[in-house]
């Protein structure tokens, strides 16, 4: 019963926050200004679902590719709220009601892993986003993990850094939910909707630590595979 009440209260807070942020976002766009509201909205949503962010290190917000471990959809809220980053996401999300629309508002780059003919276009989209001075985040594990160990990193999307655009840096990030990890990590065959409802109905708040590692210049490592190895090494070393 209490879980349902918490769920209802959080959904109400989410809707209220969205309705408040939308007019402000479009007002910024109307005057040709870069809107801060997607970032602020997603950061507020993280707090509504119970996250209490703690930043370790110095997040970069310009000319950067962020490489992070991946535990839950809450990762996206936290990283967007702290850096304003765009994301690389699977193309299926583009058709999910509301979620797809919110993704597009935040400059998400949709990719299809099975579309080998479209790889060049996907790489061009990533490079164009970086050229427009948006941070870009990718999750090279390719799926969510249990928070206990890192899966192997896939280097395919790092092809946009081979060769890297001038002045771009790579910043590895490790996200840690502490004692709440087993509750929040999205693993196994749980449906996305079921996972979201379970998290929204969860009691209390939780610590969410984002460890921003020292950034590095991708050209110092020569290839996308070497960049992936170095990023994983830094995350694993935390």
Residues 217-235: what's their mean pLDDT?
A: 94
pLDDT in tens, 6-46: 999 999 999 999 999 999 999 998 888 888 999 999 999 99
Backbone angles phi, psi at 27, to 5 degrees: -65, -45
Alpha carbon distances (Å) from 56 to 45, 95, 133, 230:
21, 35, 23, 19
More confident residue, 7 or 122: 7
Statement: residue 117 has pLDDT above 60 = no
Percent with pLDDT over 70 in the chain: 97
User: The CATH number of the domain where 172 resides is what?
Assistant: 3.40.1130
Q: Quickly state the pLDDT bin for 62 (edges 50, 70, 90).
A: very high
Q: Which is more confident, 204 or 212?
A: 212
Q: Using alpha carbons, list the distances in angstroms from residue 176 to 87, 106, 109, 147, 182.
A: 19, 23, 25, 7, 11
pLDDT digits (tens, 9 = 90+) for 75-85: 999 999 999 99
Distance CA 41, CA 47 (A): 10
Question: What domain range is 139 assigned to?
Answer: 1-237
Beta-strand ranges (E) seen in 126-190 are 136-138, 169-176
Nearest CA to 147 among 171, 180, 194? 180
Q: What is the pLDDT of residue 104?
A: 82
C-alpha 66/C-alpha 83 separation (Å) is: 10
- Mean pLDDT across 134-154: 86
Per-residue pLDDT at 65 exceeds 70: yes
Rounded Cα–Cα distance for residues 184 and 208 (Å): 11
Question: Residue 209's pLDDT is what?
Answer: 97
Residue 29 token pair: 């766009």
pLDDT at 115: 59
Cα 208 to Cα 71, 98, 116, 164: the distances in Å are: 11, 25, 36, 31
3 state SS of 230: helix
φ, ψ for residue 52 (rounded to 5)?
-120, 90
Strands (DSSP E) contained in the chain are 51-56, 64-68, 86-90, 109-111, 136-138, 169-176, 206-212
- Position 60 scores a pLDDT of 95
Q: How confident is the model at residue 108 (pLDDT cuts 50, 70, 90)?
A: confident
Cis bond upstream, residue 163 (ω within 30): yes
Predicted TM-score of the model (pTM): 0.91
Rounded Cα distance, 160 and 162, in Å = 6
Closest CA to 232 of 18, 103, 67, 26: 67
**Residue scoring higher pLDDT (11 or 105):** 11
What's the domain count of the chain? 1
Mean pLDDT of the chain: 88
pLDDT at 213: 97
User: What is the predicted pLDDT for the residue at 125?
Assistant: 86
- List, in sequence order, the alpha helices (H) in 89-186: 99-105, 119-131, 181-184
């Amino acid at each position: 019963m209490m879980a349902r009440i918490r769920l209802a209260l959080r959904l109400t807070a989410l809707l209220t926050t969205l309705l408040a942020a939308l007019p402000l976002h479009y007002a910024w766009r109307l005057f040709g200004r870069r809107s801060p509201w997607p970032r602020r909205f997603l950061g507020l949503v993280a707090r509504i679902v119970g996250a209490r962010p703690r930043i370790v290190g110095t997040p970069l917000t310009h000319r950067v590719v962020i490489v992070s471990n991946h535990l839950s959809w809450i990762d996206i809220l936290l990283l967007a709220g702290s850096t304003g980053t765009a994301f690389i996401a699977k193309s299926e999300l583009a058709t999910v009601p509301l979620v797809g629309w919110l993704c597009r508002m935040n400059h998400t780059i949709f990719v299809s892993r099975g579309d080998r003919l479209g790889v060049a276009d996907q790489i061009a989209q990533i490079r164009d986003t970086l050229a427009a001075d948006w941070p870009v985040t990718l999750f090279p594990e390719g799926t969510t993990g249990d928070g206990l160990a890192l899966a192997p990193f896939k280097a395919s999307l790092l092809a946009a850094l081979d060769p890297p655009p001038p002045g771009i840096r790579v910043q590895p990030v490790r996200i840690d939910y502490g004692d709440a990890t087993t509750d929040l990590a999205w693993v196994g065959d749980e449906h996305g909707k079921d996972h979201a409802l379970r998290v929204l109905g969860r009691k209390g708040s939780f610590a969410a630590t984002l460890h921003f590692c020292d950034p590095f210049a991708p050209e110092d490592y020569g290839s996308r595979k070497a960049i992936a190895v170095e990023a994983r090494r830094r995350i694993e070393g935390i």
